[in-house]
Structure 1
Amino acid sequence: MIQFLMNGRIQTENLPDDTTVLQYLRRDAGRCGTKEGCASGDCGACTVVLAEKEGDRLKYTTVNACLTFMPAIHGKQLITVEDLKHRGELHHVQQAMADNHASQCGFCTPGFVMSLFALEKQQQAFSVEHTQHALSGNLCRCTGYRPIMDAAKAICDAPQPDQFDADAQQTLEKLRAISATDQPVSMDELAARYLAEPVSRLVAGGTDLALEVTQRYQRLPKLISLSHIPELKMITLTGQAIHIGAAAPLSDCMPVLHDEFPEFGELLERFASQQIRNQGTFGGNIANGSPIGDGGPVLLALGASLLLRCGAEQRELPLDEFFLGYRKTALQPGEFIEQIRIPRVTSEARQLRVYKVSKRLEDDISAVCAALQIEVRDGVVVHARIAFGGMAEVAKRATHCEAQLLGQPWQTATLERACQALEKDFTPITDFRASREYRMQVAKNLLRRCHIELTSPETLMRVTHYV
């Protein structure tokens, strides 16, 4: 049984766990303002907003309804474009879109409106960069983005209270009144249930798993949602490591990682869209064993480890022992990822460089993703951890390349030997994203780029740094 708040009323639904929010809205609730576009989280036409308790206030986040399973919205408020109109008048976000001529065919408009609605709730002054990130998961087919940005500026420059602000306390009270979910709400409950039902599929953000429903038309009869376990969403820092709960949304991880590893933070800004980052997790990114997941190479280069749990037993496993083969991991039946642990860097000489090569700058899948952690002292490489995604059946360290660097002078001749060693580390494949020859050449060039950036920091090597 799922309970959530919609249109001011608590809704109680008994639906299959693999029902998406988009299916529910259009098929069961008759709310067709939320559109179905790509059904893969790439276009934003299905964007809705979830409001949930955060202390004594409400936190508003955008999600893709096409990739969100209904159990994830238990205990939350579901807001769609139909909810914005108030007393027969357009919401001021909708009015700003109309006033700035920001809608033509209108197919994408509901998604943009909901993203702008959530943006205004963040109560931040207008900035082009922040607004672009907020809207990055929405594609406009015909209007063009300038009028939409004009609407965003009008909204952020003159925010207005609305019915959601007026009803905030009532909304919080109604959300508190919602009964507990039949999904696990603690780590112990999860461990016991998954051990008893190891064939179930664990769902954190579900942004990858949901594609089996929306793209492959599969049924997922047994799902266990991780959305209601606070421990899995915690992010803590100790003197030695950053501890990230396996179900912590990427958007929550970004500020911490950007402060600690700016290159990692910049990569996450290019990781899918805002809607995906609001749900996607490192636990899911790692557990699905994808060879092109962007989290894997960086975490490998940083020497991350995983805290795994099966029943009452825990074990810590280095990430480079976790990936066994294509979509195959070291997880045992009934075992799950509890936490990702990233060692904090204590040496100022240790540098991280992260490169993502894809057909689009943002919201795209990598052809090659490279992460290199290098430390040079007195001209000699004393530390090298290098990992790539898109070059093998798993995200993988380049151990032969590392061996050519360690203990050697940080100079061009050493780099060229390391580049040649990449051919021992990887045998990339050709697919619709890139040929094997292209991938290998790119991998070598990224290693050369890292050398130039570290030895000649005044040289601008990335288009995002000078355009």
Structure 2
Amino acid sequence: MDHRPLRFFHQGQIRAIAGLPTTTTVLQYLREQAPHCTGTKEGCAEGDCGACTVLLGELDAGGALQLRNVNACTQFLPTLDGKALLTVEDLGSSDNLNPVQQALVDCHGSQCGFCTPGFAMSLQACYEQHGEAGTRPTRQELADELAGNLCRCTGYRPILDAGEQMFEAPPQRLDRAPIRAALQALRDDAPLHYAAPSPAFGGRIDHFHAPRTLAELAALREARPEARLLAGSTDIGLWVNKQFRDVGELIYLGNIAELREIRPQAFDDAGRPGLWIGAGAALEEAWAALSAIAAPLRELWLRFASKPVRNAGTLGGNIANGSPIGDGAPALIALGADIVLRRGAVQRRLPLQDFYLDYMKNALQPGEFLEALLVPLPAADLRLRAYKIAKRYDSDISAVCAGLALRLADGVVAEARFAFGGMAAIVRRAAKAEAAVLGQAWNETTVAAAAAALAEDFKPLDDMRASAAYRMRVAQNLFRRLWLETREEAPLPAPALSVWQAVSFTRSAAA
């Protein structure tokens, strides 16, 4: 293979980088290598606080420039190859602030200032997105956009004020023309094969490969079954930053357009409609597509990490990593999704619920990789819910995550699929709870039977996020919530189920 430097657009020019370790993060590059780019801050180094937020630019299939905010602390520098990197230094100058910066100043949205560059970049991403669409976000939408940015000085109210005010100024979008031109030129580069010494591991030469087609990936994976697959780096980046693990040779999936496809596809031979989600599709796009076919998944989408994490991370990575507290698997198992695996030119398919074998162990064979998820479109009479219980509402790891689905026939449960995360070493179905409701009338007695059976399905562990007793009680209570929302008579209306709307709903009901 022909090795070459990695190349990306930054500060008005194409940068060529060689010799830096393959696991150098974008944040490390900005603060230690790039000229005058220390506005991007290091806070948590794990994608939680947003102080390191930057914008990445890529061309889509039609040549349009797409900008998304991501955390620089978890992104490895070679993943920038062929892309554009924008930081807070690319917005406005001290004597010519852009609308985002000016609004933060005018609304007193900066206190100590440490978090401000990250907020500015997330606001800029929002400004660009709505400017492109000709829309304006609501205050709640702004809060969702900023869920991955923490302000240690509790300045959220003026920051949200700034988010609203930035649209009042005359429009001043980022100049996209030079970025597009540079990215068009970078498209002519050969696929990246990058090699550099690793000081942390005795100067060993590490390799980073970035194939651009599914066929190239399949060949590389077969030839190098021990290499580690890298997608959004929202998990593997923490292995390096926090655990100092040796991740060795890396095969990057982010440049393979085929892996990012989301398209309608028949789920079975009978032609049942389904949705194909490529393993490389970003969490943001994947969950948007899932929510479009299953509206009850929308809240889980918004609470699935933060926007910068969802912009970088992939649904395939979330599923393949197989964390027992991952938020993707419970909902997908409840929907009856299948997983598509590939080795060379050979595909095989199995139910997602059969993919997980034990704690952090799955059914992947040497040289095999996850190609896609195939999700059946839920029938109109499927009663589906997804619940996430965590210490924080936004951007937190689940203590319990549940995907619950059932279908009734004349008031009797004809089908039930209950999947739980955070209750065992793997995400799995609650078989005894399902058996307790099948063939039974959907009422409080049946709900109580399901809750009792759940204690036979799972023996949760105690850890820092929740005690075993708390997890069991919460999971059992979720059956009652499911019944309250889906019962035949007087199901709870949507406003009664939102913590944000509960007070106003209660007041209006009392009036």
The TM-score normalised by the length of structure 2 is: 0.88
Give the counterpart of 2:232 among 185, 194, 205: 205
Q: What whole-Å deviation, never above 9, does each CA across 1:318-351 have from its counterpart, x for those lacking one?
A: 11110011111111111110000111123x2211
Q: Is 1:5 matched up with 2:9?
A: yes
Contact (CA 8 Å) 2:390, 2:398: kept in 1 or not? yes
AA aligned to 1:457 is P
SS of structure 1 residue aligned to 2:460:
coil
Q: Is 1:61 matched with 2:88?
A: no
Which residue of 472, 492, 505 maps to 1:458?
A: 492
Counterpart in the other structure of 1:135? 146
Assess, with a 3 A threshold, how the Cα gap between structure 1 residues 312 and 169 changes in structure 2: closer, same or farther.
closer
Q: How does 1:17-36 map to 2 (within 5 A)?
A: 17-30=22-35, 31-36=37-42
Q: Deviations over 1:179-235 (max 9, x none)?
A: 542311111110110111111111111101110111112232211110100011000
Letter in 2 for 1:385: R
Residues 1:163 and 1:272: Cα distance change in structure 2 (over 3 Å): closer
Matching residue of 1:189 = 216
Give unmatched runs, 5+ long, in structure 1: none
Displacement after TM superposition at 1:71 (Å): 2.3
Q: Please state if 1:224 is matched with 2:251.
A: yes
Equivalents in 2 of 1:452, 1:169: separation in Å? 52
Change (3 A) 1:169 1:451: closer
Tell me how far 1:422 sits from its aligned partner: 0.7
Paired AA for residue 2 in structure 1? L
Supply the distance in 2 between the matched residues of 1:202 and 1:390 (Cα, whole angstroms). Answer: 25
Give the Å deviation of 1:163.
Answer: 5.1
How far off its partner does 1:462 sit? Answer: 4.2
Alignment of 1:209-358 (within 5 A): 209-238=236-265, 240-346=273-379, 348-358=380-390
What secondary structure, in the 3-state scheme, does the structure 1 residue paired with 2:369 have? Answer: strand
SS in 1 for 2:175: helix
Query: In structure 2, what is the equivalent of residue 119 of structure 1?
Result: 126
Inter-CA distance 163–439: structure 2 relative to 1 (3 Å threshold): closer
How far did 1:57 drift? 2.4
Structure 2: tracts of 5 or more residues without a match: 194-209, 267-272, 504-511
State the alpha-carbon separation in 1 of the partners of residues 466 and 148 from structure 2: 24
Q: How far off its partner does 1:92 sit?
A: 2.8
Q: Distance in 1 between matches of 2:248 and 2:260?
A: 25
Counterpart-to-counterpart distance in 2, 1:131 and 1:159:
19
Superposed CA deviations along residues 30-56 of structure 1, whole A, max 9, x for unmatched, are 421110000111100000001111223
Q: Partners in 2 of 1:176 and 1:224 — Cα distance?
A: 19
CA 1:162–1:86: 2 relative to 1, 3 Å: farther
State the 1:255 CA deviation. 2.5
Larger deviation, residues 67-76 vs 335-344: 67-76
Residues 51 and 58 of structure 1 are in contact (CA less than 8 Å); yes or no, is this contact kept in structure 2? yes
Tell me the distance in 1 between the aligned counterparts of 2:369 and 2:247: 18
In 1, Cα distance between equivalents of 2:356 and 2:98: 49
SS at match of 2:167: helix
1:149 Cα offset (Å) = 1.2
CA-CA distance at 1:174 after TM superposition: 4.2
The alpha carbon displacement at 1:157 in A equals: 3.3
Letter in 1 for 2:359: Y
Taking the aligned partners of 1:103 and 1:268, their CA distance within structure 2 comes to 29
Give distance in 1, aligned partners of 2:188 and 2:31: 27
Alignment identity in percent? 49
Q: Any conservation in 1 of the 2:191–2:211 contact (CA below 8 Å)? A: no
Give the aligned residue type for 1:330: A
* Change over 3 Å in CA distance of 1:418–1:149 after alignment to 2: same
Which residue number corresponds to residue 147 of structure 1? 158
For 2:189 and 2:90, the matched residues in 1 are separated by 20
* 1:368–1:390 CA contact under 8 A, matched in 2: yes
- Give the equivalent residue in structure 1 for 2:168: 157
TM-score (norm 1): 0.96
Residue 423 to residue 169, structure 1, CA distance change in 2 (3 Å): closer
Post-superposition CA distance 1:429-448 (Å, at most 9, x none): 01111111111111111011
Range with greater deviation from structure 2 (255-264 or 166-175):
166-175
Q: 1:75 aligns with which of 82, 101, 111?
A: 82
Q: CA deviation at 1:172?
A: 4.7
Inter-partner Cα distance in structure 1 for 2:289 and 2:485: 24
Residues 242, 200 of structure 1: alpha-carbon distance in 2 compared, 3 angstrom cutoff: same
* Cα displacement (A) at 1:175: 4.3
2:57 to 46, 51, 57: 51
- Closer/same/farther in 2, CA of residues 175 and 121 from structure 1, 3 Å limit: farther
CA deviations over 1:340-376 (Å, ceiling 9, x no partner): 0111123x22110111111111101111111111111
Whole-angstrom distance in 2 between the partners of 1:67 and 1:18: 9
User: CA 1:384 to 1:162, structure 2 compared with 1: closer, same or farther past 3 Å?
Assistant: closer
Do the aligned partners of residues 321 and 458 (structure 1) sit closer, same or farther apart at CA in structure 2, a change above 3 Å counting?
closer
Q: What is the deviation of 1:87?
A: 9.1
Counterpart residue identity of residue 140, structure 1: C
- Deviation string, structure 1 residues 101-149 (Cα, Å, up to 9, x no partner): 1112110000011111111111131311221121111001115111111
Q: Secondary structure at the match of 1:198?
A: coil
CA distance in 2, matches of 1:466, 1:314: 48
